[in-house]
Amino acid sequence: MECFQRRHRSTAGITIFLPWIFGLILIGGVFKLFLNWFWSLFFISLSHLIFIPLLWFIDESPRWLIVRGHHDRALQVLKKAAR
């Protein structure tokens, strides 16, 4: 969360949990439609795939970058978060 500007942190926090929420909402209907466990879990998993593109817009944690030796990139992320 430290990677987001202060005004975007609430939106980012909510967005992270949307796949979980939608999965919980869909689970009842999906299991009622498909009596087979495999297909039920398959269709529930598909609902999470729409959030994968968010990974290209979220920066890595500065702590993770420092541990991996990417100090310059960590500094860029911290400067971006400070804006």
| Measured distance CA(43)–CA(75) in Å, rounded | 41
Helix (H) or strand (E) holding 61: none
54: three-class secondary structure by DSSP: helix
What pLDDT, in 10s, does the model give residues 28-45? 777 787 778 888 778 778
Where does the pLDDT of residue 7 fall: very low under 50, low under 70, confident under 90, or very high at 90 and above?
confident
What pLDDT, in 10s, does the model give residues 15-27? 888 888 887 887 7
pTM above 0.75, yes or no: no
What pLDDT, in 10s, does the model give residues 35-80? 788 887 787 788 778 888 888 888 889 999 999 999 999 999 999 8
User: Which tokens in the block code for residue 68?
Assistant: 């991996």
| Residue partners of 60: CB distance under 8 A and separation at least 6 | 3, 73, 77
| Residue partners of 12: CB distance under 8 A and separation at least 6 | 1, 4, 58
